[in-house]
Amino acid sequence: MISLATFKRIVYLFGALLASLLPAYGGAQSLCLQLMSDRGTERSVPVRLGSTLHLSFRHSIYDSQVEEVFALRRDGFQLTQMRYAEARLVDFYGYENAKHENGLWVVTPTPALLSSLNLILSADASMSLHLDRYANSKQPVIQPGGALRLTVATCENSADD
């Protein structure tokens, strides 16, 4: 049996530990994916640290599907994986350690952290973004012939979604 004083110390230490972890991991809506179009429109999508952003597009030279996968961090986007529909894209970019999984060539690159993603889409191209933990929310759309800048920032108003 522990004394009341010991119990209070344990509760205090647990509370202090929990309080120290919250800023590091963020609350459910403390971070937002900020989208700024070339037309000046802005949108904020609440996200969680570690959420995954999938950027899918057709390669401009080979016209085959490419997907880049990013983990969301407080300071940007960490590229974690690239998926190519054809082996020749793996060769084109000089990767030596691709694995063939479920019909795609998968590359796990050297970790790279990007503070922002600047996406420019030609009028005849298609590109899509998908946030893994928000299947029921509206996914960001990139208009053909437009540009979009994505950043991770502290939410000013989490009701923008």
Q: Do residues 142 and 56 lie in contact, with contact meaning Cβ atoms separated by under 8 Å?
A: no
Beta bridge partners of 106: 83, 99
Global confidence as pTM: 0.73
Indicate the domain borders of the chain: 28-155
Q: By percentage, how much of the chain surpasses pLDDT 70?
A: 73
Share of residues in the chain with pLDDT > 90 (%): 40
- Nearest alpha-carbon partner for 131 in 2, 32, 57: 32
Cα angle, residue 38 at apex, residues 33 and 44 outer, rounded to 5°: 20
**pLDDT tens digit string along 16-25?**
323 333 343 4
User: In terms of DSSP bridges, do strands 76-84 and 31-37 run parallel, antiparallel, or are they unpaired?
Assistant: unpaired
The three-class DSSP label of residue 147 is strand
81-95 average pLDDT score = 93
Residue 100: is its pLDDT beyond 60? yes
- For the stretch 40-61, pLDDT in tens is 888 888 888 889 999 999 888 8
